[in-house]
Chain A
Amino acid sequence: GAVVSQHPSWVICKSGTSVKIECRSLDFQATTMFWYRQFPKQSLMLMATSNEGSKATYEQGVEKDKFLINHASLTLSTLTVTSAHPEDSSFYICSAWQGRNYGYTFGSGTRLTVV
């Protein structure tokens, strides 16, 4: 089946630094990818929709200048958390949309801890 590879699986960074998370579709082309964030014992909250070759669409309340999304190719989307703060510590998950017939494939997630 389709695989979405997400790296790193976990990262610890210092407050004020930036962290990049990669999401790759390994055996299919993903024109649309989604980025979610999950706080402990809470639901997955959609942060933004990433479209290849165009600007990402951010959900209400998500700072686009803080969470930079780049979808430069059909197989790679990146999320960069800029000037990270401890409150950005969370579990970030990407998902690739394969069209209505095939649905969504999720990455394995990235645990970000900002100290």
Chain B
Amino acid sequence: DQQVKQNSPSLSVQEGRISILNCDYTNSMFDYFLWYKKYPAEGPTFLISISSIKDKNEDGRFTVFLNKSAKHLSLHIVPSQPGDSAVYFCAASFFTGTASKLTFGTGTRLQVTL
């Protein structure tokens, strides 16, 4: 049961353009969402997060949008740079009282071309 899905396994974008990565979730109890960037054989690197009480969070070139009614979030990268090429995972959590375990999406491989 994949509670967090990223339906696009790959995305190719030209340098300087906008990259939009999408993520859908099914569990309405999730209240905190995160995006991670990952290179092969390395641990994920945190990019940006958003709480369910917000619909937008921005940090530099990265903006995350949350649509709770649609159970959908997206990551916008503007402008895209070649160094952004990696696999991006969205993740969701809900506060269990002692710790919040993450449920990861299936990942989207972003390639930024020159």
A residues within 8 Å of B by Cβ?
A: 4, 6, 9-10, 32, 34, 36, 41-46, 49, 51, 91, 93, 95, 97, 100, 103-109, 111
Contact = CB atoms under 8 A, between A and B. Distances in A.
Contacts of A91: 41
The SS class assigned to the A binding surface is strand
B107 A43 contact: yes
Contacts of A100: 32, 95, 100
A100 B51 CA distance: 11
Interface residues of B, number: 23
B44 to A, nearest CB: 5
Contacts of B46: 103-106
B28 to A, nearest CB: 19
Nearest to A6: B43
B11 to A, nearest CB: 15
Contacts of A109: 41-43
Contacts of B102: 34, 44, 46, 95, 104
